[in-house]
Chain A
Amino acid sequence: MTRPSFADRIRGLPMDVLRRRLDDVTEGQAAGAVAAPQITDAMIPALFSRAAQGHLETMARRAAAITERRFGKVINLFAPLYLSNECANICLYCGFSMNVDIPRRSLTTDEVVDEAEHLRRQGFRHLLLVSGEHRGAYSLNAMADAVEALRGRFASVSIEVFPMETPEYRRLETAGVDGLTLYQETYDPDVYARLHTKGPKSRYEYRLHAIEKGGEAGFRTLGIGALLGLSDWRVEATMLAMHARYLAKRFWKSRIAISFPRVNPHEGDYTPEHAVSDAELVQMIVAMRLLLPDAELVLSTRERAALRDHLVGLGITRMSAGSKTNPGGYKVEQSSLKQFDISDERTPEQVAAMIESRGFEPVWKDFDPTFLHGPL
């Protein structure tokens, strides 16, 4: 029997119905959800509603306590490594979009190793390999080669690349990848269609399916996210939480990770139609923690230093630091074009020092490649 996919589950759920459900949440429902010991699926909209805004402090305190008990006083650090900025899609908000006239660059395997060694010397042991979505320009074979070349140098290697089929993911898992990140960008099919005008990425359901193919391939971490600013964040957050709960039930051996990327200025000229304020971002993060006590919640350097500092301990468990979002940006070709602007430009050491100063331990290694393969 094939299990219904998440896409099957949500096909009968129009976004405007969800939006109305969010609008209709009463003060009492919000207060009830904030205090509930077990938060049912039916309570998800209540936590992301406007009505819950008044309970932000209570939610934050609960989120901090849950995070501390489950994860301890630690923040895991990772670095993104951009493999390529070549892309076969037009996405109106993205700096790598194929219609944007920028020099394109894909790293060779030797260059990937050079970049990675630079990050290793900075202390990083967890790496996220990121690529524009172009099967021809930076192929599965190239990725597998790069991952194999990195073997033994990092404790954990994850990928954020074009959606693949289960056997392809399995190949990367065998090569040494333990985590998959794939953002749906927006869960609203109409907005999705409007923003993804050309290329394989224009297929909403194909993209939504891919993370499940990764789950079938056995990745230990399944990372999801919505690009905040494209559509009403309350709807996106509700869909994300439902998606995370679906994945956690179906792929019960994998950890779910959720990222909170807000749209930043880039090389194109997209202005977010639904900008998300700091207070709204915090509501989304702390509510997500109440809904998913065991999920990794990830915050990138898209956010400003001051905001990142305050989010240590407030639900966030994983942070990037010192990131470059252009292929070769660390060492090989520092001037190539980046995907988006970084707001927190501190070095990894400075971010680690900040984490320590807030009473948390910066953790560089929290996995071991021996889990995946090793001398037998």
Chain B
Amino acid sequence: MSDIPSTIEGDKLVIAGREFSSRLLVGTGKFESPQMMAAALEASGSELVTMALRRVDLTSPDDSMMNHLNPDRYLLLPNTSGARDAEEAVRLAKMSRAAGGFDWVKLEVTPEPNYLLPDPIETLKAARELVKLGFTVLPYMNADPILAKHLEDAGCATVMPLAAPIGSNRGMKTKDQIGIIIEQAGVPVVVDAGLGAPSHAAEAMEMGADAVLVNTAIAVADDPVRMAEAFKIGTVAGRMAYLAGPGGESRLARASSPLTGFLRTGETS
């Protein structure tokens, strides 16, 4: 393992009053084995891990995924992946609270099974209901700044706009919209879905995202453990750059001896 830190001293991600040192959230689907998943999670340095309720049996002590997720080490964040409307998502969250004692939920309402794009109307409806029921709600959403404000007003703990469709590994396709969300957000912005490479994670973090969530890019890599570590580094690098205050982008080269420098040195006076 490298000695590159997975965290930055004094820099904490705070969600609903809870502090996290790592700004990389990791999903648990698509791995070739629960052992590989556990090893990749460890290498990622993540402290917040999502799992699909449809994949686990919370009533079974033998559930292979649950047995590989150490609740002392990670805050487990059940997700409602597969829910087609608000009613189903709310029902699933209630089940996870009743069967597993979970009060945090990653809200996913994706009525269309191919691109798995989130339904804005049903997501907002479910978010309102779940907040009313006392859940800490982290909603997966399209990169729509107005929807982000509505979800924030509904009492969500974060907003989680997508960079690109789930599992697409296509990177920051919604960058401009995410920029507006970051600018306007009063809750942490977690860029979720579509990040396919550590450079994508770094790009999101440099822009000022509070965290990123990655699953497919790690799970289906040839070496998921190494890829998890690479994402850890990418996330930290992006965050550091953000904290360092990047120089900003310009189409023109910025000469180190500017042509108008004479105006400041007083040569014309």
A interface, CB within 8 angstroms of B: 68-74, 125, 155, 220, 248, 252-255, 293-294, 356, 359-361, 363, 365-368, 370-371, 374-376
Contacts and interface: CB of A to CB of B under 8 A. Distances in A.
A68 B113 CA distance: 16
Contacts of A360: 32
A368 B53 CA distance: 8
A155 B168 CA distance: 27
B179 interface: no
- State the main secondary structure of chain B at its contact with A: loop
B220 A68 contact: yes
B220 A72 contact: yes
A57 B84 CA distance: 37
B118 to A, nearest CB: 14
A251 to B, nearest CB: 10
Given A72-B30, A356-B33, 6 more contacts: A72-B216, A72-B220, A155-B57, A252-B112, A254-B113, A366-B55
B165 to A, nearest CB: 10
Nearest to B89: A371
Nearest to B37: A361
A155 B92 CA distance: 13
A155 B55 CA distance: 9
B83 interface: yes
Contact of A255 (B53, B83, B113, B167): B113
B78 to A, nearest CB: 11
A374 B55 contact: no
Contacts of B54: 155, 365-368, 371
Interface residues of B, number: 31
B114 A294 contact: yes
Interface string B99-129: 0000000000001111100000000000000
User: B53, B91, B111 — which one has the most chain A CB atoms within 10 A of its CB?
Assistant: B91
A295 to B, nearest CB: 9
Nearest to B98: A375
B155 interface: no
Contacts of A376: 91, 94
Given A368-B82, A368-B92, A72 B31 contact: yes
Given A69-B167, A365-B54, A374 B216 contact: no
B82 A367 contact: yes
A375 to B, nearest CB: 7
Interface in B57-115: 57, 82-84, 88, 91-92, 94-95, 98, 111-115
Interface in B112-164: 112-115
B30 to A, nearest CB: 2
B30 A73 contact: yes
B245 to A, nearest CB: 36
A19 to B, nearest CB: 30
Q: Which 7 A-B pairs have the closest CB atoms?
A: A72-B30, A73-B32, A294-B114, A255-B113, A370-B95, A368-B54, A374-B91
B108 to A, nearest CB: 12
A73 B29 CA distance: 9
Nearest to B99: A370
A307 B54 CA distance: 30
Contacts of B216: 69, 72
Nearest to B114: A294
